[in-house]
């Protein structure tokens, strides 16, 4: 198994790169998806979140109201720490379980984790960051996700800096261009990652 990390700030295009790597045969361990699964209606994690933040974070259908949680934690460091204390232990356990499935194979396993720089992980053979100018990220968040500009800027500023993220990486993919430029860079990085198994 060749275990690599994939990270990038909001709006950088990390999900697109993850899809491209999956198409090449990589096994994707998606931390965001794992978090969503762990916060499914009726789950122990969701119950603990409601105990801490109030039942108003749960919609009538039993699902998590993510914007309601975001409104609480993005402006309150203690609340964010509490949220992380509830979600992260369960998440780390499930991430490890999904990685271990491939332990005795020769597959490339991609840990797709937005907070990889904030939560460094041992055992990675390479770390790829999808990088983008923050102004382009804001434009894409507004145009493609329908966020308002102030919210997009607040989300970006709440994350670590580009320099901090780039400092932990072995490969940088610049997503400031078009899809074809992105695909070429992914091809180059993939070739280098596969070579790690030689």
Torsion, CA 139, CA 142, CA 145, CA 147, rounded to 10:
140
pLDDT of residue 152: 86
Copy the structure tokens of residue 181: 């430029």
- Torsion sign, CA atoms 9, 13, 16, 17: negative
pLDDT of residue 27: 97
pLDDT of residue 22: 97
pLDDT of residue 161: 87
Q: Enumerate residue ranges in the chain where pLDDT < 70.
A: none
The single residue listed with the structure tokens 């460094």 is: 120
pLDDT of residue 159: 85
Altogether, the residues listed in the chain come to a count of 198
Euclidean distance between CA atoms 87 and 85, whole angstroms = 6
pTM (2 d.p.):
0.85
């Amino acid at each position: 198994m060749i275990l690599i990390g994939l990270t990038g700030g909001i709006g950088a295009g990390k999900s697109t790169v993850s899809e491209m790597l999956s198409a090449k045969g990589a096994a994707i361990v998606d931390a965001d998806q794992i978090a969503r699964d762990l916060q499914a209606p009726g789950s122990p994690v969701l119950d603990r979140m409601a105990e801490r933040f109030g039942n108003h974070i749960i919609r009538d259908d039993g699902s998590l109201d993510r914007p309601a949680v975001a409104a609480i934690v993005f402006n309150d460091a203690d609340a964010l720490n509490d949220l992380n204390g509830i979600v992260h232990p369960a998440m780390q356990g499930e991430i490890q379980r999904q990685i271990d499935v491939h332990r005795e194979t020769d597959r490339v396993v991609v840990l797709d984790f937005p907070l990889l720089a904030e939560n460094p992980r041992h055992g990675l053979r390479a770390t790829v960051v999808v990088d983008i100018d923050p102004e382009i990220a804001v434009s894409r968040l507004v145009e493609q996700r329908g966020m308002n500009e102030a919210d997009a800027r607040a989300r970006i500023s709440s994350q670590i800096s580009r320099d901090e993220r780039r400092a932990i990486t072995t490969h940088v993919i610049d997503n400031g261009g078009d899809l074809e430029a992105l695909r070429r860079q992914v091809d180059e990085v993939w070739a280098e990652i596969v070579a790690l198994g030689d």
